[in-house]
Amino acid sequence: MDATNETDDAGGTRAAIMDATYDALRKHGYADLTIQRIADEFDKSKSLLYYHYESKDDLLVEFLDYGLERFAEQVAIDPEAEPDEQLRTFLDSLVPESLAEDRHEFHVAFIEMRSQAPFSEPYHEQFTKSDAFIRDTLAEIIEDGIERGVFREVDPMEKAELLVTITTGAMVRRVTTDVGDGMAAVRRAVDDYIESELLVAE
């Protein structure tokens, strides 16, 4: 086995562990999750799991980090698109109009994990990191829009802080209340916001 294959195998194993974690989280939620339940979703040697992770929370913090990496890869912003279009596409990926059942189950577990952050430094760090990633991505799009003369001379970081707060609130409201038409209203209000607060008047 050469070095490349070794890395591939390690990457493949990590991806398989992360997939098993996703499936177990969806099925059992955070509170009832155990390493054994993750192992039950895992095709390869179970001992690998116990070897790599001391606790379920160790594994879940890595899972959140892996999820953030994947998200960052997937949302690669199209630099050719107009800045307001880039912003809408990015916000759509965070606050979709509706959620498929498996994504809904995952969001439920995500909010449960987030509620543990005040009690756990690794979770706290991880959610700080994911919030910062989203905020910085939004700020970059806004900054680029200002440079291109499409957006007004606003404070990019301030507007980005507001938008990341909206995406967080939307995710929480969606899974914890009967939000009904509320999510569609939030999206319309965000579109109005981009138009009236960011875009240079025609």
Contact with a copy of itself (CB under 8 A) among 11, 58, 158, 200: 158
Contact with a copy of itself (CB under 8 A) among 79, 178, 201, 202: 178
14-11-63 Cα angle (round to 5): 35
11 binds a copy of itself (CB under 8 A): no
Q: Which is nearer to a copy of itself, 48 or 162 (CB)?
A: 162
71-143-133 Cα angle (round to 5): 25
Long-range contacts of 104-110 (CB under 8 A, 24+ apart): 104/175, 105/25, 105/26, 105/27, 106/22, 106/25, 106/26, 107/171, 107/174, 107/175, 108/29, 108/175, 109/25, 109/26, 109/29, 109/30, 109/33, 110/171
Q: Which is nearer to a copy of itself, 8 or 125 (CB)?
A: 125
131 binds a copy of itself (CB under 8 A): yes
Contact with a copy of itself (CB under 8 A) among 5, 81, 188, 200: 188
99 binds a copy of itself (CB under 8 A): no
Q: Which of residues 15-74 bind a copy of itself (CB under 8 A)?
A: 29
Contacting residues toward a copy of itself, per CB under 8 A: 29, 108, 111-112, 114-115, 117-119, 123-124, 127-128, 131, 135, 155, 157-159, 161-162, 164-170, 172-173, 175-179, 182, 185-186, 188-190, 192-193, 196-197
